[in-house]
Amino acid sequence: MRRSTARRTTEDLPISSGWPLARSLGLGVVRPGGLAATRRLFEGVELGPGDRVIDLFPGAGGTGLLATEHNLYSWTGICRDEAEARSVNKAIPGPAVATVIGAPDHTGLADGEASVVYAEGLLTGIPVDVQSAVLRETARLLRPNGLVGFHELAITLGGPGSISPAVLGAEFAAADRGGLYPHTEDEWRQLMSDAGLEFVGANHFAVVIPSAKDVIRDEGPRRGLEILGKVARPGATSSQLKNAINGIARAQDRLTGVVLIARRPYVGPLRSRAAR
């Protein structure tokens, strides 16, 4: 049976619920490595019949719809508000589908509720301290030996004389560049380890910058045209998005879409290093 559980307040949600720029535009899915990376994400978390799945960033429900094709025991999307929950419930039919109002770093769900947790384009759009909070929440939600997968943006090291990943990351984090927080694979690995997760592996993909056709395909004609209209309309949001896209395009040889897979340790206490 479908269910939607409301939180009493959503005042603390905007920062932790994904890339603010994408949210303001109404983008429902952010796939740095394209649909091929999404499929690899599902393979990496071994998605299959009987899994209890939590999607931390369901957007309009596109990725969730693909996930539920795997005959899951349950799928729960963490939605920012009731409007998003209604949209997700409409997009993903089936009795195993549920939505909960919350944030990726504070879902309100019970410990060990999931065998699989995943998200696409979530961590890259939020600051590092919030990334860490989301990863700690992910570890809490997973059953022992449960798997987590994130589809994000990664910075490669580059050759001799190349701009350092730290400098490149600082440029992307600037507000007028859209406020993105990508990391190298090693940095992503360390963040996961610090949250109490055991890193399993990563796959890298060429960065995909969506065209207008891609937006309409992913979001649907009506929603896609609304988003494209916002992008075309002069203003700060449009300018920031264009700066972010231009920055990604200029640095495309130093960026990849990355699928990161980790596991909650089967034995031992679940404690992040930060908490020790």
Domain containing residue 169: CATH number: 3.40.50.150
Enter the tokens of residue 50: 């009987």
Of 102-116, 179-193, 209-223, 226-240, least confident by mean pLDDT is 226-240
pLDDT in tens, 65-78: 999 999 999 999 99
Q: What is the DSSP letter of 129?
A: H
State the chain's mean pLDDT as an integer: 83
pTM of the predicted model, to two decimals?
Answer: 0.84
Ranking 36-45, 49-58, 136-145, 155-164 by mean pLDDT, the lowest is 155-164
Q: Name the band, by pLDDT with cuts 50, 70 and 90, for residue 11.
A: very low
Nearest-CA neighbor of 244 among 79, 157, 121, 150? 121
Residue 2 has pLDDT above 60, yes or no: no
Q: Does 274 fall in a domain? A: no
Q: Is residue 271 included in any domain, yes or no?
A: no
Q: Is the pLDDT of residue 187 over 70?
A: yes
What residues does 5 pair with on adjacent strands? Answer: 100
* Residue 115 near residue 87 (C-beta atoms within 8 A): no
Which residue segment(s) compose the domain that 99 sits in? 4-266
Tokens found for residue 93? 């039919």
Q: How confident is the model at residue 223 (pLDDT cuts 50, 70, 90)?
A: low
**Model confidence pLDDT, tens digit, residues 117-159:** 999 999 998 999 999 999 999 999 999 999 999 999 999 988 7
pLDDT exceeds 90 at position 212: no
pLDDT beyond 50 at 176: yes
d(CA 108, CA 103): 8
User: Given a cut of 90, is residue 273 above it in pLDDT?
Assistant: no
Report if residue 275 sits inside a domain.
Answer: no
Collapse the DSSP code of 259 into the 3-class scheme (helix H, G, I; strand E, B; otherwise coil) and give the result.
Answer: strand
Average pLDDT (207-234) is: 69
Residue 100 lies in a domain: yes
CB atoms < 10 A from the CB of 195, how many?
26
- Work out how many domains the chain is built from and give that number: 1
Indicate the pLDDT class of residue 232, thresholds 50, 70 and 90.
low
66-73 — which CB contacts under 8 Å span 24+ positions? 66/38, 66/42, 67/42, 67/118, 68/92, 68/94, 68/96, 68/97, 70/42, 72/47, 72/96, 73/49
Let me know: does 105 contact 137? Beta carbons within 8 Å: yes
Output the pLDDT for position 221: 74
Distance, in Å, from the CA atom of 40 to the CA atom of 129, rounded to the nearest integer, reads 27
Task: Give the whole-number percent of the chain exceeding pLDDT 90.
Answer: 56
Is 276 part of a structural domain of the chain? no
